[in-house]
């Protein structure tokens, strides 16, 4: 029994109760109190009978005190208070009038204070002894393995958690030597026995003075600019740096040493996150939610964050069985009690979609399934239209037939004044969703944003492979820019926007300033421990369908703020005709024929900015020479 395992704690408590009673009388009177305070023996007997019973009823002998926490301290306080109150009542009921008016009230108060101190001290000592024993065992196991002296950059909650874990687990081989933090009030102060050695610009000095082997950046809310400066300081100090995930990656997770990872390009590009609204995804709680493209980069992250809102059922729909299987397994491991339904289906199969939606009756649908690769869609126009346009049309019609309350289309900045087949197909997908909202009054909406880091087909993995083999890095044009955002941040904002819409809106995520691709490449070179001049950069020419830069809304659009600072509501001028049944049939006919000219003619008729045969800037307009 747990009580038996705590018998030594009980024995220590009994000694403590005796000491508390004797101490209370001594402090109130003097050390000769026993000669004239005749109520003491009865007080002591009552204390030894009452306090252990009350402590037992409060579970003080059913806990593992090796892991004493704040909640345990509160339990000690409550148990001590209850036992002292019970003792006071008993004493006043039994001896008032017998011994000079009874027990002095100050004695009862002092006894309570000492009881709290002794009971808390006993249990804290157990924890400290347990930690010392565990530390000694861990050091014994780690004998022969070199420990690393670690500088923690960031003395906030995340930094303290990282430092505490290093101190409690010596087997990690990481010894924290101090903190760096830019908050003036923390300079020179001590946290967990470690000093705040300076600001984030003092990396090189701290490394030199304290023989640092590694830096850990524990600043999940820091901007990319701040992280870039810290990483550069570590590089100049010639120490490796690791970081904890950003705030959006930590959604649903915890800050631990096991989650430390190398600083990545996403960290250097991230912006300081806006204040989140925990109540925003409540429209997902208890709902049946369907995600198309559930195995893709965006879709799988959507599923992860939706799962945190505790939907009744989460339906993963995708065409690739392997990606859906992997997404399903990841959700099962992280959310064991969540009902997850994997569906292998193609959104181009309308009959299949209708059966799935009729069976599961989702109230919310996130449509992330799409072909997104611009040059590939230029070579495969019928795929772009059949999947992105006709597939969206099928999904919207099936959603209307199944009374879906809310549908969110994931769109792209390439849908703005599109010149590529992929961009044009996404523009038409937006039109389909908005037209359905206007026709039915349903909360169907569009959320548009730019490139995301870490998605399939991203330039980052390609750049890393090129750096690993010594270069060159190939870039299409020195002036090429793109909007970038991390996948967790984009998905978080999509979920927030999904709860705002009432029907027909186009929401655009605030992507910040566009990033030059060549600057991104140079950052990746530096993160690899090299200098930009060590890896040649070669310009290969703009590919079919690409533009040098993108825009997030049409010229002349009205841009309104929303309740979230990172989400904008866009009202764009539009002279494009609505997609009637006849128009859809025309597009279907063009797709079935596989005739590129017929497909481009149909798109030009529907989208004024689309020019048949447009390929962006011709490749021969770019000089193919390495960067100087």
Residues known to be catalytic: 414
Distance CA 481, CA 154 (A): 32
Tell me the helix, strand and coil percentages in the chain, rounded to 5: 50, 15, 35
46 to 21, 35, 88, 95, 381: CA distances (angstroms) = 10, 19, 10, 11, 89
| Structure-token match 């409550």, residue found | 78
Distance CA 532, CA 620 (A): 26
Could you tell me how far CA 482 lies from the centroid of its own chain? 24
Number of residues in the chain: 628
- Closest among 618, 615, 621, 620 to 378, alpha carbons compared: 615
Sheet holding 148-153, edge to edge: 190-191, 194-198, 174-180, 148-153, 214-217, 241-243, 261-262
Query: Where are any strands of DSSP class E within 229-312?
Result: 241-243, 261-262, 288-292
Phi, psi (deg, nearest 5) at residue 248? -75, -30
Other CB atoms within 10 A of residue 189 CB: 13
Tell me the sheet residues that pair with 485.
452
Tell me the sheet residues that pair with 567.
509
Contact 3, 60 (CB under 8 A): no
């Amino acid at each position: 029994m747990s009580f038996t395992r705590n018998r030594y704690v009980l024995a220590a408590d009994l000694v403590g109760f005796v000491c508390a009673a004797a101490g209370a009388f001594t402090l109130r009177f003097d050390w000769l109190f026993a000669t004239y305070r005749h109520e003491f023996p009865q007080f002591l007997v009552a204390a030894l009978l009452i306090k252990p019973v009350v402590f037992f009823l409060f579970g003080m002998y059913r806990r593992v005190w090796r892991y004493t926490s704040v909640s345990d301290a509160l339990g000690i306080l409550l148990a001590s208070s209850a036992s002292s109150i019970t003792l006071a009542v008993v004493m006043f009921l039994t001896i008032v009038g017998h011994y000079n008016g009874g027990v002095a009230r100050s004695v009862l108060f002092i006894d309570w204070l000492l009881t709290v101190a002794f009971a808390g001290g006993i249990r804290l000592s157990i924890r400290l002894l347990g930690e010392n024993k565990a530390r000694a065992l861990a050091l014994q196991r780690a004998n022969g393995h070199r420990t690393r002296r670690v500088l923690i950059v960031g003395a906030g909650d995340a930094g303290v958690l990282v430092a505490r874990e290093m101190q409690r687990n010596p087997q990690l081989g990481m010894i924290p030597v101090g903190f760096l933090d830019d908050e003036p009030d923390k300079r020179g102060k001590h946290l967990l026995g470690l000093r705040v050695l300076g600001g984030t610009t003092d990396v090189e000095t701290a490394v030199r003075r304290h023989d640092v082997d590694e830096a850990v950046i524990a600043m999940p809310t820091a901007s990319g600019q701040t992280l870039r400066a810290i990483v550069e300081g570590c590089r100049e100090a010639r120490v490796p740096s690791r970081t904890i995930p950003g705030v959006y990656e930590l959604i649903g997770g915890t800050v631990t040493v096991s989650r430390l990872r190398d600083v990545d390009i996403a960290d250097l590009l991230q912006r300081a996150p806006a204040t989140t609204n925990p109540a925003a995804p409540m429209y997902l709680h208890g709902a049946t939610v369907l995600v198309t493209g559930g195995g893709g980069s965006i879709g799988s992250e959507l599923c992860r964050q939706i799962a945190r809102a505790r939907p009744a059922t989460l339906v993963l729909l995708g065409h690739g069985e392997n990606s859906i299987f992997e997404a399903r397994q990841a959700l099962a491991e992280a959310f064991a009690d969540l009902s997850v339904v994997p569906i292998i289906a193609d959104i181009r199969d309308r009959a299949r979609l209708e059966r799935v939606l009729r069976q599961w009756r989702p109230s919310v649908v996130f449509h992330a399934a799409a072909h997104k690769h611009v040059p590939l869609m230029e070579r495969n126009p019928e795929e772009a239209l059949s999947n992105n346009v006709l597939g969206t049309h099928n999904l919207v019609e099936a959603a209307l037939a199944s009374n879906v309350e809310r549908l969110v289309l994931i769109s792209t900045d390439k849908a703005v004044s599109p010149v590529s087949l992929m961009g044009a197909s996404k523009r038409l997908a937006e039109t389909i969703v908005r037209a359905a909202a206007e026709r039915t009054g349903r909360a169907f909406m569009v959320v548009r944003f730019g490139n995301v880091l870490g998605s399939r087909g991203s330039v980052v993995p390609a750049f890393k492979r090129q750096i690993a083999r010594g270069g060159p890095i190939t870039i299409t044009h020195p002036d090429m820019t793109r909007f970038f955002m991390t996948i967790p941040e984009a998905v978080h904002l999509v979920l927030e926007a999904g709860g705002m819409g009432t029907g027909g809106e186009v929401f655009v995520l605030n992507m910040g300033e566009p990033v030059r691709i060549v600057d991104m490449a140079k950052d990746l070179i530096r993160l690899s421990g090299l200098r930009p001049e060590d890896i040649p950069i070669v310009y290969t020419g703009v590919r079919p369908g690409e533009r040098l830069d993108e825009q997030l809304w049409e010229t002349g659009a009205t841009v309104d703020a929303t309740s979230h600072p990172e989400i904008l509501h866009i009202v764009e001028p539009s002279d494009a005709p609505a997609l009637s049944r006849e128009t859809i049939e025309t597009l279907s006919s063009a797709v079935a024929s596989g005739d590129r000219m017929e497909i481009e003619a149909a798109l030009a008729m529907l989208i004024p900015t689309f020019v048949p045969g447009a390929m962006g800037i011709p490749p021969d307009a770019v000089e193919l020479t390495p960067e100087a």
